[in-house]
Amino acid sequence: MAREEIKEIDKSKIIYSWAVQGNEHIIIDHAERIYMWDIDGKRYIDFCAGLLNINIGHSHPYVLEAMRKQMEKLTYVSTLFGTEPKAKLTEMIGEITPGDLDYVFYTNGGAEANENAIKAARWYTGRHKVYAAWRGYHGATAGAITLTGDPRRWAAEPGIPGVVHYFGPFTFNSAFGSKDDEEECENALRALKEQIMLDGPKTIAAIFVEPIVGTNGIIVPPEGWLKGVREICDENGILMIADEVMTGWGRTGEWFGIDNWGVVPDMITTAKGLTSGYVPLGAMIWSKKIYDYFCEHPFVGGLTYGGHALACATGIANIETYKRENLIENSKENGTYLFKKLQELKDKHPSVGDVRGGKGLFCCIQLVENKETREPLAGFADARRNVSKEIMGRLFDKGLYLFAKWDYMFISPPLCITKEEIDEAVGIIDEVLEYPDSLTK
């Protein structure tokens, strides 16, 4: 197919997510490691690992060969049957997850994992309310988008019943007026406890947490927050569900984000880095007490492609690649290096109000109009102005892809990235920050 024909079909007939239709897009032709090339031959650094999922890098030969071998043997079988890849991947997941989170239900992606976690929590507890944070994101399906605490939820409202939102800690833009992380943690936990008291603890099935908030600003929680949520859940018979769709699989320098704080949830939901996006696959992972309950009660859930043999074989090769190439350790080490380089940008640029991260290759630049007052540049849901479109356009022109929205620039490269490659990418960001700098007061 001719390049112009591809571009015309893409612009005029393909429906894009979260976007006004009819726009032109960059058409990617092929990719390798941290690089992508469009159909015109231009190279881009993928500084966002796709959508925070291409953790091992693009087109890894070991994974591609494992996929080829599995396709020659078996690609799909009904969910009534087991397969060797499904059994082996389940065993490998259980070796990595914290505590007794050894029991795996396979889904097509992260949103579906969260949908099933809602159902499982309600059946297990006999309660109907589910708590999720403002500034959280859990997916775009009916239940998951209701859990979500950002504007992507608005178009889907009223959503499913029983979802209640709470304020998690966010020191830089504190809802409590806290002066530091310690005070923010105390205030957020106090508010959550009071909200639960007023709402009726015996009506609450689960509390969802993102160990590090993802696409609402890479908000790293203060010490004590996740431990405090765990204690609140234990005191009230509430299940703690860790949404590790983004934070899992080495993204934060540990196998799972919650491992950074030594807390064991009752469930983990995950996807993305489970297969590094080579084949869609997600998972809901249970602790033993939940599994034991469903040995006496049927779990009613599942879709046609759950536990897909090819996807599970891909997950096996993906986990083996993490281990063989020490990618979890690389994420921790180079994440520290990346965070330091971004801190240098904060000191240099008047538009950089905050840099968050420090846990693996998972960072965010937050832009401001005024550093002293922390007045936003774009504002929540671009209430003041849209700057992200211009920022992304300038980055693309210079051969760098990262995801930006509102006042946030998200940085989450493949875990195989080197320090030299980080330097090149940060150098481009440094140049592009001249644009938001021009808008500051």
pLDDT at 348: 96
Q: What's the CA gap between 373 and 393, in Å, rounded?
A: 28
Rounded to 5 degrees, φ, ψ at 144 are -65, -40
pLDDT at 30: 97
Q: What's the CA gap between 177 and 103, in Å, rounded?
A: 41
pLDDT at 441: 83
- CA-nearest of 381, 346, 366 to 172 is 366
pLDDT at 212: 98
Which whole-number Å values give the CA distances from 326 to 226, 258, 307, 338, 363, in the listed order? 27, 19, 27, 18, 20
- CA-nearest of 275, 228, 226 to 248 is 275
CATH domain 62-166+200-219+233-324 topology: Aspartate Aminotransferase; domain 2 (3.40.640)
Is residue 18 very low, low, confident or very high in pLDDT (cuts 50, 70, 90)?
confident
Angle at 213 between CA 420 and CA 89, to 5 degrees: 75
pLDDT at 149: 96
Range 46-72 average pLDDT? 98
- Global pTM reads 0.96
SS (H, E, C) the chain: CCHHHHHHHHHHHCCCCCCCCCCCCCCEEEEEECEEEECCCCEEEECCHHHHCCCCCECCHHHHHHHHHHHHHCCCCCCCCCCHHHHHHHHHHHHHCCCCCCEEEEECCHHHHHHHHHHHHHHHHCCCEEEEECCCCCCCCHHHHHHCCCHHHHHHCCCCCCEEEECCCCHHHCCCCCCCHHHHHHHHHHHHHHHHHHHCHHHEEEEEECCCECCCCCECCCCCHHHHHHHHHHHHCCEEEEECCCCCCCCCCCCCHHHHHCCCCCEEEECHHHCCCCCCCEEEEECHHHHHHCCCCCCCCCCCCCCCHHHHHHHHHHHHHHHHCCHHHHHHHHHHHHHHHHHHHHHHCCCEEEEECCCCCCEEEEEEEECCCCEECCCHHHCCCCCHHHHHHHHHHCCEECEEECCEEEECCCCCCCHHHHHHHHHHHHHHCHHHHCCCC
- Per-domain residue ranges of the chain: 3-56+326-437, 62-166+200-219+233-324
Q: For 3-56+326-437, CATH number?
A: 3.90.1150.10
Summarised one tens digit per residue, pLDDT across range 273-316 is 999 999 999 999 999 999 999 999 999 999 999 999 999 999 99
Question: Counting every residue, how long is the chain?
Answer: 441
The neighbour count for residue 424, using CB atoms within 10 Å, is 15
Summarised one tens digit per residue, pLDDT across range 331-385 is 999 999 999 999 999 999 999 999 999 999 999 999 999 999 999 999 999 999 9
Q: For residue 322, is pLDDT > 90?
A: yes
Is residue 94 very low, low, confident or very high in pLDDT (cuts 50, 70, 90)?
very high
Token readout for 86 is 């499904």
Q: For residue 413, is pLDDT > 90?
A: yes
Range 205-212 average pLDDT? 98
